[in-house]
Amino acid sequence: MISKLPHNRICNDLSTWPNTTFALVYADFGSTRTVSEGVLVGSHIILTLARNLSQHGQIPNNISVGVSWDGISEDDRSEASCWYVSESYQASSKHYGEDFAIIGVKKDFSKKYGYLGLASPNIFSEEEYFVYAFHNKEKKSAVVPIQNVKVDKNQLIYDLIPTHKPIVGAAIMQRKNREDYNLIGIHMGDNKKYNYGLFISEEQIAKVENFIIPKN
């Protein structure tokens, strides 16, 4: 698989960027089928939460993904496979840092939809931060700003958003300028006091890089 880190690849239509990096993950466990969310981070790579690809320690029999924030057609679907799900997560779902999975996608969506780069965990300063979320009343999805972003071990914590509810499995992003977004985490939920998500650590970035073949 060919990709590039840590910079993102911007899609051709800036009016839809970075919404187009949002992906749906369809997992077939045999007796049950699930639909969850993930994030495009490379030409053939999607990051998601381990909980989406593990049921009682079982990995899905089949996985497919769909990309396109405004409706998924057959052209926007692809076969996929599970490249990595933490064994530690399968043993204990209480460790936030292990709620992390990597999916390999057969199709290359990057030319049409782009992908998010991965920000170095050391870059955590006065940048702007955003999350992909649904509007509480209008039920429309959008990239919305977030406030008071903090790191607590393997967790990202940030303020609740009165108008929007972040989507579980969707991207938490850092923005350096109008076009330059990078992934810093994956939203997991809220506890009615604040939102929280998985913080993408150096160790996890290294795991993603292991699946990338540099372009000659």
Q: pLDDT tens, 189-202?
A: 999 899 999 999 88
Domain that holds residue 186: 117-200
Contact 187, 168 (CB under 8 A): yes
- Same-domain status, 67 and 146: no
pTM of the full predicted structure?
A: 0.89
Domain-ending residue, one of 83, 98, 113: 113
Whether 4 maps to a domain, the answer reads: no
Per-residue burial over 157-176, b if 16 or more Cβ lie within 10 Å, else e, is: bbeebeebebbbbbbbbbbe
Type and span of the H or E element at 31: none
Contact 18, 114 (CB under 8 A): yes
CATH number of the domain residue 36 falls in: 2.40.10.10
pLDDT for res 16:
80
Calculate mean pLDDT across residues 151-165: 91
pLDDT digits 0-9 by tens, 27-50: 999 889 999 999 999 888 999 999
Residues contacting 113, CB < 8 A, separation 6+: 11, 20, 21, 40, 67, 68
pLDDT for res 48:
94
If one counts the domains in the chain, the total is: 2
- Same-domain status, 26 and 101: yes
